[in-house]
Structure 1
Amino acid sequence: MSETPGPTCDRLSEVQAALEEMKAERIIPPQHFSSMAMLVTDASLTADEPVIQAAHDGLRRLYGHHVRADGDQAERAEQRGHLLGLLDMTTWALRRLPSGLQLNFAPQGHTVSFLLEVAKEQGLSNEQLAGRLKVDATEISRIGRRLTAAGLVWKSRQWRHNAWSLTPRGTQYLESAALIPPAPSGIDYCVGVKVRPESRTGVVTDASGEVYTSLHIQARFDGSQEKLIQELALFVRGLLDKVPAAAEAAKSGRTGLGVEIGGHVATASGYVVNAPNYADDAPWPGLSLGELLQKATGLPTVVENDANAMAQLALAVGDADGSSDFAAVVLDKGIGAGLMVDGELLHGASGAAGEIGHVVVENYQGHECSCGNRGCLESVAGSDAIARRVQEMSGDPVPDLARALVLLKSEDRGKLVEEALTEAGRALGRGLADLLNLANPDRVVLYGPEPLVSEDHERFPAAKFFMTAVRRTSMDHAFSTARDVVIVTRPYEDELGARAAAAVAWNRLDQD
């Protein structure tokens, strides 16, 4: 493996500086944990062993210091939890470093052909590779085991099939053997964009996750795919104009673009399979969003489902408290889940894993969902569904969740709103119980509107009714040890979604 002393040296300096800043704090601020998580993620993607080891050693020393320190026990326990989460990340990254085996594969052999096919299309199954190489699946398994041992590929499970992907070392081997052209040397900035039918929100971040600028535009798309792409490209250019360094880096391919939408996305291609909550505004289903945006902006582009993006951000910034088996659930107008299994995001056979918003929690004569079915979870517990239910019960015009929560304070309507919130919370609890029983995560990170998920019930009284019903119902319907799961809540807003989109782009595009 060839060395890249410049980036390693710079990254190592950043890690050492971050550790010194953390050491100087009696109570380490959350942003320090987030920055370190981004640095470790960056180093693990490039198999940068010196940096990962330095982070691991420094975090162990910090953890020992906080174990021995005096002071508020709750604060110290929280600090130790965050540090343990980062230590889990570095331990996992060190275990995933490629082996030191010397490689000598025949250029025309099946082993190199295996690598080349995976380089063309990440996530191929044994059966797909067997068909392309014209060998049986047993031979593919044998080759895969050899390449895994050499640190060139890694294997995940997608439904019932293996899914093969190249490691950074695998890409480097193919490049050094002149079997594929060298990839761009990496990225310095990322644009992250959260797209709604009626708005778009964006940020520009660097490798540490620092947000340089943000932008929000409230405007609906028209009915043309071409106009939609033009408007998104113009929005991205507006963000870049606010950060000249990122605009300059874009000229040499060192600025990436991540986009998240609330729909079924084939992540590998950036193709929108289905987006029922978006379909009235533009022909989203069948839109090659990633490819068209990349052509329009000139930026390497990644498109991801919103809940999947939040799961990756949760892993990066520590919202899952160091867990590698968790679900990130996004409660919005729709409801979705991103599933992390052993630190890997589960996309499913076609990218639709985690669509719990379309699990039926009412009977089949329940409310109609945007997907066309009836009784789906998001048709009962989504933010618009709560507003609609309050309107049905009160007879008052209730256009959105904010108006529904205003009525909670009224003497004659307050009880109706409480009932609607409890009903929605029970529905979400039933959906979460199904998720716990099927996926068996050790925790759920629930992202939603702060008035619904906040732990501060004095400031946000609606959360008391809603979250009490969620927690109680999910535990009542969960099976066996699924009842032991930890449910943590985090306020969700569009800028956080844009940051998640940027984090996805960093994870997949930065090969420096």
Structure 2
Amino acid sequence: MGAEDPRNSNPLIALAEIGKNDNAERRVAAWVGAGILGTVLARVAARSDGISRATISRATTSAGDTSWSESQRPIDHRRIAPGTVSKAVTVLKSHELLETGRPVRRDKHNIDQLHLGDRFVTAAIHLKLDKDKPSGMLVALCDISGRTIRAEHTRDFTEECRSWHMLPHFIRASVDDLRRSLQDRHSGFEPALFGVAVEVGAPVIDGAVRPIGANFHIPLATALRTLFAPPPGAPGLPPAILVENDAACLAALTWRDRGYDVADLAVAVVLDNGVGGGLIMDGRLRRGHSGRAMEIGHLLVAHRPGASPKLTVGQPGTRRLDRQSPRCTCGLAGHVDGFATVNSLRRDLHAEDTDTLEQAAQRLDPWHARRVLSRSGSFLGRALAHVCNVIDPGFLLLYLPRELADPDPARRTTHYMQTARRELVQAFAVRGQPPTEFDIQSLPIGPDGADRLLARAAAVCLLDSVIEQALAYDPLDR
């Protein structure tokens, strides 16, 4: 979330500070800290079908209760007194972050179910890159849990608009347009902005984007905070700002959708131009020292021992190396991205512009097609095996384009995943006791399907960041 004053950039902390000032003036003891507000909001957001106040107050260690027994999320490990939950719910409802839905009948009683409020939205942005410049974006307004997209549009940038300096202004204009369109469609509805979440296929640290192969960084989060900051004295809550790596966001979404059932989780995703990864360890998203944690696409998998990744054609002994090791987007040879991405496969299968990977593979000699797909899958699987051995995650999920995930044996593209799986299952951690659980999930198909998934993941990551910062600002046990 960056080094800005959290009271001006975190809606939960701002809400707690408002309550603190109000209560000081009224001399009442009804103040609820940001950590409590964050915990209550986190537990409501985890349940898409609603949750009772009694369930919110429980913890993973509650004897005889299974409400949170599977959760490995640290925030679910502490019981909160029912009275404190009621105070927090009152505060969150008064600002429309929570609302009461249809009650559920249990033990001859009607139990109110709490849901996230409809009024607040998160602006979730999937940012597209062309080398080290922004080339387009999908902007979506979704509920703050990232489950439902309410409005969206896409924009491809012309060459003169591919500017990091102009990008924050494009984002602000697009978000304003979508909020107006949502308001026009629903008369009387005024969407309030909970936050702006941007995910991008590049390393990110402290809100600054560091494109692979570039010698500069872009403080995008700082620029967005300036543009979206409410005027001094304006009513309402300040929107949170998040800029994060796309695969890291996907890890946060995957963990939420699994019900936080493991403390250590790894995610890998094969996209057109890169293979990315995200990591949850000890119940927290991990980014590394410079935002490069889990850059699976840049693992070196195709070099002979001692070979230099910078060797060029013409140097002694390099002809075979160059033929086997196409250049990665970072400029070096032998990386996973040089072989295992969709565009790398299209290159090696000699695909035409309108071809699917399967169509391109079917036109080639069967032996040649199998060799290309098996080699690429083998390098991907080897990289994932290294990840499992180093991290030892409880669960590894691999997101693939549907045609690479399809197990139909009649398809030649199945060689890709077959060889990847063979490499992966040789990993020491995967064969351990208990073994690393492994699964494959297809990316959504259709125009912008994967972009929408990643944008929703950014909304999940933003909510997690807001809550994590609220807990750091005002710990539950203070």
Give TM-score, length-normalised by structure 2.
0.64
- CA distance in 2 between counterparts of 1:377 and 1:452 reads 16
Matched, 1:465 2:452: no
Deviates more, 1:371-380 or 1:214-223: 214-223
Given the alignment, which residue of 452, 462, 486 partners 2:437?
A: 486
- 2:141 is matched with which residue? 204
Tell me if the contact between 1:193 and 1:200 (Cα under 8 Å) persists in the aligned partners.
Answer: yes
Structure 1's 446 and 399: CA in aligned 2 closer, same or farther, altered over 3 A?
Answer: same
Given the alignment, which residue of 290, 293, 305 partners 1:350?
A: 290
Which residues in structure 2 correspond to 1:122-201 (within 5 Å)? 188-197=120-129, 198-201=135-138
- 1:308 is matched with which residue? 248
Comparing both chains, which one has the higher relative contact order based on Cα–Cα distances under 8 Å and sequence gaps of 6 or more? 2
Given the alignment, which residue of 131, 144, 163 partners 1:224?
A: 163
Deviates more, 1:90-99 or 1:372-381: 90-99
Tell me if the contact between 2:349 and 2:361 (Cα under 8 Å) persists in the aligned partners.
Answer: no
Partner of 2:329, secondary structure, is coil
Structure 1's 56 and 233: CA in aligned 2 closer, same or farther, altered over 3 A?
Answer: farther
Structure 1's 207 and 286: CA in aligned 2 closer, same or farther, altered over 3 A?
Answer: closer
Matched, 1:440 2:392: yes
Partner of 1:351, secondary structure, is coil
- 2:226 is matched with which residue? 295
Q: Deviations over 1:332-391 (max 9, x none)?
A: 121121111121112122222111211101113421111121111111111111111112
Deviates more, 1:438-447 or 1:191-200: 191-200
Tell me if the contact between 2:196 and 2:242 (Cα under 8 Å) persists in the aligned partners.
Answer: yes
- CA distance in 1 between counterparts of 2:73 and 2:165 reads 46
Which residues in structure 2 correspond to 1:36-435 (within 5 Å)? 36=47, 51-53=56-58, 87-89=69-71, 92-96=74-78, 188-197=120-129, 198-208=135-145, 209-219=147-157, 222-244=161-183, 248-250=190-192, 254-266=193-205, 268=206, 270-276=207-213, 285-298=216-229, 299-318=239-258, 322-332=261-271, 333-363=273-303, 364=309, 365=321, 366-391=325-350, 398-399=352-353, 402-410=355-363, 412-413=364-365, 415-435=367-387
Structure 1's 220 and 335: CA in aligned 2 closer, same or farther, altered over 3 A?
Answer: farther
- CA distance in 2 between counterparts of 1:14 and 1:505 reads 12
Tell me if the contact between 1:256 and 1:509 (Cα under 8 Å) persists in the aligned partners.
Answer: no
Paired AA for residue 500 in structure 1: A
- CA distance in 2 between counterparts of 1:408 and 1:312 reads 35
Partner of 1:88, secondary structure, is coil
Q: Deviations over 1:424-446 (max 9, x none)?
A: 11010110011011111122111
Structure 1's 13 and 466: CA in aligned 2 closer, same or farther, altered over 3 A?
Answer: closer
- CA distance in 1 between counterparts of 2:426 and 2:55 reads 48
1:294 to partner: Cα distance? 2.6
Paired AA for residue 473 in structure 1: E
- CA distance in 2 between counterparts of 1:235 and 1:462 reads 42
1:61 to partner: Cα distance? 7.0
Structure 1's 207 and 502: CA in aligned 2 closer, same or farther, altered over 3 A?
Answer: closer
Partner of 2:326, secondary structure, is coil
- 1:25 is matched with which residue? none
Unaligned runs of 5+ in 1: 17-33, 63-85, 100-167, 169-186, 392-396
Give TM-score, length-normalised by structure 1.
0.60
Tell me if the contact between 1:240 and 1:247 (Cα under 8 Å) persists in the aligned partners.
Answer: no
Tell me if the contact between 1:387 and 1:399 (Cα under 8 Å) persists in the aligned partners.
Answer: no
Structure 1's 406 and 321: CA in aligned 2 closer, same or farther, altered over 3 A?
Answer: farther
Tell me if the contact between 1:434 and 1:478 (Cα under 8 Å) persists in the aligned partners.
Answer: no
Q: Deviations over 1:144-171 (max 9, x none)?
A: xxxxxxxxxxxxxxxxxxxxxxxx9xxx
1:296 to partner: Cα distance? 2.8
- CA distance in 1 between counterparts of 2:72 and 2:50 reads 10
Partner of 1:361, secondary structure, is coil
Paired AA for residue 143 in structure 2: D
1:94 to partner: Cα distance? 3.6
- CA distance in 2 between counterparts of 1:35 and 1:407 reads 43
Supply the RMSD in Å over aligned alpha carbons: 4.1
1:97 to partner: Cα distance? 5.4
1:92 to partner: Cα distance? 4.5
Tell me if the contact between 1:15 and 1:39 (Cα under 8 Å) persists in the aligned partners.
Answer: no
1:482 to partner: Cα distance? 4.8
- CA distance in 1 between counterparts of 2:330 and 2:349 reads 22
Unaligned runs of 5+ in 2: 1-28, 82-87, 89-118, 130-134, 230-238, 304-308, 310-320, 444-449, 472-478
Paired AA for residue 348 in structure 1: G
